[in-house]
Structure 1
């Protein structure tokens, strides 16, 4: 990891060196903190079962951090996924895991409420209206304190702590107050809104103050870091110079310098590449095409079922292309994978009904006896099946209305080891900053989206190879190891105070 963290033998100790604590609990000098632990419960015999009752979770954050955690032998703090249940610390897949307990009320108020019905829509440009409830905010503060306390108990003297994502924005300040010896990093995996939108949040000052407890606050895009620094200046009156925020105590004395920078997250390139070259996965991709009637063009969308992903815009554009005769069922098929998401939140229930209604309408209108217009799959799939789908698809559609990064776009490009295929990518996804050779478009512009889809369908092999080769090089040079090393090296840099 390029010297970003110490070797395995040094990262955990049986120690009582923690300030104010004399217990012999295992201490770690590198810790990751996120809402969820990187494991899910599984029944015996289920895919991924290793006999422990747990399997590694899918998803971008786990993909990004698990390889690093197994190398460093650090600890991961998070909720284990079941409400009203106490689980003791345990190890899985080379990682020590420190569970945080959540009650049913915590899940409803802190997670489904404040995190996903207040912050998520607010941070995604209020595509859906955020709700502001004081009881949700109270629960958010309480649960953030619980996560911070778990770190305080188990972090060694001078430990590095890397807090992840919007559910835990108060944790950095809580850690700094309790343990000023810690080196604290925070990474926000979703967008950070401009001050004009962030201004709506009644607790905007507390959130900014919470984040400024970190030594380094990371974002997906430079524009997100800029939005954060503008909010720090506007709502806290913070002194912001270049990428540095001078954080002061109530007496006006400088306590530390918090930096805000962009660190675009990436994927485990080696793993995706190895899967894409496996004969059985290549054969599975061939079978997928055959099962669909071997159409000339397979278009693919892979998303969580979320209103930020632009699934409705994608379906509208596709239906219009069918109606206008630019695409024809039999020649073209759209596979839409929509993995279940936050199904107890009302906005998500309504979205599922809307998407399934639209798919039913398109198929009812355009299906033939032999062929279907949209193959809609409301499931989650293992990575092996996803790579087979990437190989089967001629065109990948990423039409997010707002997305921190979108790792699916990077996975698709990485899987195309023959440098074929085409990526249609929303300019509102963070990946657009790196994958400039994709067919970039504004998903709100349905005509523009249709034009991009048809350009992808008709793209010559020579142009496809040129674009894909450039995108693959970018991702291969900036994989997940590069992301984590960049962040941790920056966190451990000596800060030069800029008083100019």
Structure 2
């Protein structure tokens, strides 16, 4: 992390996953997650240590050695935090994905709280903190990421008060009414307040966090900063907003390649050269509103205004957390809605909705962005959502329209999208229909303004802004 007085300073990035991942068949590779790509350009050339889990459990005792992670590049090394299968089940599948994930997304599904799982969550957070405390040089900078590691800042501060600690929450911080459901709320707030800087995607999340802390008389508020009455020398915790962006230049470059253009043309040709193509690209997650979106598109295509037109809808739903019951139920529900919608459309002589339930490489996603006329991002709750920003970055010719949920963090920056209330089927239908009928002049004007917003606040800007603010906190 770039210190203003020393480019050689050692910096630590702590995240649930390492910047590399291990596959028993293919070996080590760069992790596909958005955090890795977002930080890559900002951290390039600095002396960085990435601390995280490999994404698979270590073998049980006596089952032989587990391959060690590679030493990293010349500017980034890795430290692995191992987890057993039991710990993965309680920490990752349990607390992280069954409690914190749904809770922080407005309890779209009911969160599950188990104290025995939170005990493992504490243990894993302590393991991260111990790793850094034992290896970090004096005065090093530490950037902790997301809801999996909310206890680390305080644990690390207790062990190493010399360290400069930043924390960034990638998901939304919930409302007071939802946060009240959390049985471990005091532990979480105490953990987060160990940081020198706490960053959020939106002003709403930052304000909700500050109000929660002050309501519990843990701190007083000075603007967005918090003042903790720790002994005779109160400590200040900076709180600020840092919207995450994609590597916009990379997506623009990929979208302009002959391979991407040719693939996009073949996609459209494969659907009979449609007048317009609608596109959804999501993880198969209950926060994304995929089932409501499918119903909305089907209703629009059946309407008198659009029934006789060749308009195609491609929905990519990449598998996610498929071992968890809530995600298995979601897949069944989405497929039932899809089959029903396709049957209704087929009865009217219309081509069905095209559903892709597999992970696609970045190059194929970019080709789909280029092929589409209207991008649909209708999440029920989203910390930011980079898909919509990637789509905008890929529209170098100024074409394309974006229908965007007001419940995404991106909606604060992309006000020129056709904004919709994602839980309101009628409003989602209205947004889709309005985007389809928009003229070229209107859509180009909206896209130009959105592109300025995306390129003005890309991944590098996000990381640099956070790090610069972090180094102003002491």
Where on the TM-score scale, by shorter chain, does this alignment land: which range? over 0.9
Per the alignment, residue 23 of structure 1 pairs with none
Per the alignment, residue 70 of structure 2 pairs with 90
Change (3 A) 1:3 1:149: closer
**1:470 Cα deviation from its structure 2 partner:** 0.5
Whether the 8 Å CA contact 2:301–2:311 is kept in 1: the answer is no
**1:36 Cα deviation from its structure 2 partner:** 0.4
Note if 1:159 corresponds to 2:133: no
Aligned pairs for 1:100-499 within 5 A? 100-249=81-230, 252-254=231-233, 256-328=235-307, 331-367=310-346, 372-494=351-473
Whether the 8 Å CA contact 1:4–1:488 is kept in 2: the answer is no
Whether the 8 Å CA contact 2:196–2:473 is kept in 1: the answer is no
**1:59 Cα deviation from its structure 2 partner:** 2.6
Whether the 8 Å CA contact 2:58–2:84 is kept in 1: the answer is yes
CA distance in 2, matches of 1:485, 1:368: 54
**Which is further off, 463-472 or 445-454?**
445-454
Whether the 8 Å CA contact 1:87–1:99 is kept in 2: the answer is no
Note if 1:78 corresponds to 2:52: yes
Change (3 A) 1:354 1:494: closer
Whether the 8 Å CA contact 2:248–2:459 is kept in 1: the answer is yes
Correspondence for 1:61 among 16, 31, 35? 35
Stretches of structure 2 that go unaligned for 5 or more consecutive residues are 60-65
Secondary structure of 1:90 counterpart: coil
Secondary structure of 2:44 counterpart: helix
Whether the 8 Å CA contact 2:28–2:70 is kept in 1: the answer is no
Change (3 A) 1:156 1:295: same
CA distance in 1, matches of 2:281, 2:86: 32
**Which is further off, 299-308 or 33-42?**
33-42
Count, aligned residues: 467
Whether the 8 Å CA contact 1:31–1:160 is kept in 2: the answer is yes
Change (3 A) 1:117 1:374: same
**1:175 Cα deviation from its structure 2 partner:** 0.5
Note if 1:30 corresponds to 2:17: no
TM-score for both structures, normalised by structure 2: 0.94
Stretches of structure 1 that go unaligned for 5 or more consecutive residues are 12-28, 47-52, 496-500
**1:43 Cα deviation from its structure 2 partner:** 6.7
**1:254 Cα deviation from its structure 2 partner:** 3.6
Cα deviation 1:141-189 (Å, max 9, x = unaligned): 0111111111112211100000000000000000000000000000000
Secondary structure of 1:419 counterpart: coil
**1:329 Cα deviation from its structure 2 partner:** 7.7
Change (3 A) 1:177 1:353: same
